[in-house]
Structure 1
């Protein structure tokens, strides 16, 4: 049996960051991961490959459509989908190799295989060839991540009916792609294939897209995507799917009940969310139980079982890579007696469509439900000089501030490159900034970031730019 200070189950953003931090803190750490590469869903078949395709498809559309021509650049591009997928895979491989390097640098052991908790402080790892290795440690961190949520009546085969993994590796551009679910994954991957030439229809059970996002920003994003050619069928449920070698017949009907309709597609993407991956971990051997969703409860990352910790998608909070990373750091800090913590009120979220949607803090809907008095400052990108020059004026910046104290309570952005700008407000809100604080800070001109300042200024009706 190999002995460690800490064993981490899972090599995704939560797991590999926990392992690296453990090594930095002087702990003898092992990370158990059964994939052929480290990085989990995010690096291998999630965040990173999707961003590679989003970037490539944006450039292709700009070159193929009127955007380049309007700028005086005349080209006639052709799509080489195989090369696009190849460069995506090369980028992903480079990132996963980078994690291996950091493991070696920080003296972390990668135990290849699937871990099973056999009792307090005991883990058995089964390799791909069936061989088993026994490990022991004072602390075990469960960071096994999540998997796509299945939809009853729609069997995913990753030939015609796809999950997110399948949609990232198609060998042809769909004629008609139906996306089930109008959340982050569905909208991003739907955008990729729409830009590359597919007809895209998004079917959503709710009466809106982007559940949980600020309502006004979600509506603005939906209008933008609809103008680009994505069709939305909201308040609609999928009841059955029948696939053949060439297509899929999808039966849909109003969410409230009504006459059924058939959609014909050559590919269907099921993107209704993700569920914790907690099956088969041996939780019963340390007397742990999940809730109905498969999630494990925690108190500051501790489970009810002594010496067993939990981070990332397998526990409460948003299923986001950066949330898992923060929890990894906080968890290891606590293991060594430090005061690690995560501010769950200030975890930003982003949808990497075009325009992008980024937010942090409370939405207007949440503030109204809480009965909190607030003020709103908005500034449109149509009035931002850099956005106008770049012909990317869709969207706005919105700041929500306490009516009495002016404390910033929430920020919601929809527009160009807002994923890179939301961090300014994450920092400001972590330090308890007021809208006036941002309004008084000089921003470089001309930049899109000036919209952030102008929105803060407009909390008091003082925006000045055009």
Structure 2
């Protein structure tokens, strides 16, 4: 029986980061993973492969729409779906092998197999039982479906199946207008698929700032995606080659059906704790299936911790990473900390959408006085030169103190631009601090400065 200071169950972004940080802090560490490769959902069937397809199809869009405008003339590229899939798989391989290298470099043992916790201080992997002073649950999440909708990963697929369809479908129905649905919908829309998004709510991306959400939907519609909002899906019927989705409209209870070659179910995810033995051990699970933890990510059993999608909070890889590092530091006797008020979120469509902190809706709900600084990318020289002038930067600041409370960006490189504001918020910066910081010209980031200026006397280029 081997003995460790820490055993982490799960090698997704939260798990592998936690394991590496534990090892860096001098703790003897092992990580349990049942897949053939490390990296969890994110690296294998989530964040990384989806971004590969988003990148490839965006290049196709540029070739079809903008190359000729720049004097780049020639035959428009054709799509070799098999080669695109190969590129995606190669991207996955490079990343997962990278984690394996980091484990070896930091002397983290990979315990291959599915893990369970038979009793406090012990982890069972296969037929072997290992001792651990601390156990970290980092088991991630799985696709959540709807009643009457059975995912077969052929005609009715989750995001996993959507990444590896045998061919590009002519028609696709996406159930759910959240991040996954819109990203994968964008991929296939660019490839020529007729994409229709069914959403139960009256708007897309419900947690997003309302103004951004409305503009985002308009831009996606302009790109060719159709939306049916207020649609309650009743079920999906399949034949050998087709799927039929039935739904009711909330506003009048009218019944409708839509046919498609593929239906993508993207109605969210749920914590994955099957086979862990958590409830038998006495670890408290919430009504939502999440592992209950305190403010330091400790479970109700001493010496057992939990992070990432398995616990409360947004299901984001980087949130899991932060929690993984914080738990490692707590186990090592340090002050592990996560600032949940400054966790950015990004949608990797084109344009990208990024957000951090408060929305106008949340500020109004709490009664906090605020001001808005906004700047459109239409006034940004770099964006206009690159055919990327759709969207805007929006900064929300306290009306009295000018302290930045949140920011929302829809536009080019939004997922990178948001981090300037994240750093500012970590230091308690005012909008004026950003406005008085020199930004290189010509860059997209100048739009952030202009939005900050708009919180004061006004932007220069608007």
**TM-score, with structure 2 as normaliser:** 0.98
Q: Distance in 2 between matches of 1:301 and 1:409?
A: 25
Counterpart in the other structure of 1:250: 245
SS in 2 for 1:323: helix
Counterpart in the other structure of 1:411: 407
Counterpart in the other structure of 2:96: 96
Q: Deviations over 1:384-417 (max 9, x none)?
A: 1111111111000000000000000010000011
For the pair 1:125 / 2:125, whether they are aligned, the reply is yes
SS in 2 for 1:346: coil
For the pair 1:262 / 2:261, whether they are aligned, the reply is no
User: Structure 1's 152 and 257: CA in aligned 2 closer, same or farther, altered over 3 A?
Assistant: farther
For the pair 1:309 / 2:305, whether they are aligned, the reply is yes
Correspondent of 2:384 among 354, 371, 388 = 388
Q: Distance in 2 between matches of 1:171 and 1:442?
A: 50
Counterpart in the other structure of 2:418: 422
Give how far 1:257 is off: 5.4
For the pair 1:435 / 2:431, whether they are aligned, the reply is yes
Give how far 1:256 is off: 4.7
Q: Distance in 1 between matches of 2:390 and 2:61?
A: 17
Give how far 1:69 is off: 1.2
For the pair 1:148 / 2:143, whether they are aligned, the reply is yes
Give how far 1:148 is off: 0.5
SS in 2 for 1:460: coil
Correspondence 1:107-186 to 2 at 5 A: 107-126=107-126, 132-186=127-181
Q: Which moved more, 1:426-435 or 1:294-303?
A: 294-303
SS in 2 for 1:44: helix
Runs of 4+, deviation exceeding 4 Å: none
Give how far 1:157 is off: 0.1
SS in 1 for 2:341: helix
Q: Distance in 2 between matches of 1:187 and 1:461?
A: 37
Correspondent of 1:287 among 282, 286, 291 = 282
Q: Distance in 2 between matches of 1:279 and 1:38?
A: 19
Counterpart in the other structure of 1:220: 215
SS in 1 for 2:215: helix
* Contact 1:377–1:461, Cα closer than 8 Å, also in 2: no
Q: Distance in 1 between matches of 2:203 and 2:254?
A: 21
Q: How many residues align?
A: 460
Give how far 1:304 is off: 1.0
SS in 2 for 1:297: coil
**TM-score, with structure 1 as normaliser:** 0.98
Q: Distance in 2 between matches of 1:291 and 1:278?
A: 12
Counterpart in the other structure of 1:71: 70
Give how far 1:150 is off: 1.4
* Contact 1:8–1:30, Cα closer than 8 Å, also in 2: yes
Counterpart in the other structure of 1:194: 189
Give how far 1:294 is off: 0.8
* Contact 2:279–2:285, Cα closer than 8 Å, also in 1: no
* Contact 2:284–2:299, Cα closer than 8 Å, also in 1: no
Give how far 1:289 is off: 2.6
Specify every segment of 5 or more residues in structure 2 that has no aligned partner in the other structure, as ranges: none
* Contact 2:22–2:332, Cα closer than 8 Å, also in 1: no
Specify every segment of 5 or more residues in structure 1 that has no aligned partner in the other structure, as ranges: 127-131
Q: Distance in 2 between matches of 1:398 and 1:24?
A: 39
Give how far 1:291 is off: 1.4
Provide the aligned C-alpha RMSD in A: 0.9
Q: Deviations over 1:243-266 (max 9, x none)?
A: 111110110111355121110001
Q: Distance in 2 between matches of 1:177 and 1:428?
A: 41
Counterpart in the other structure of 1:203: 198
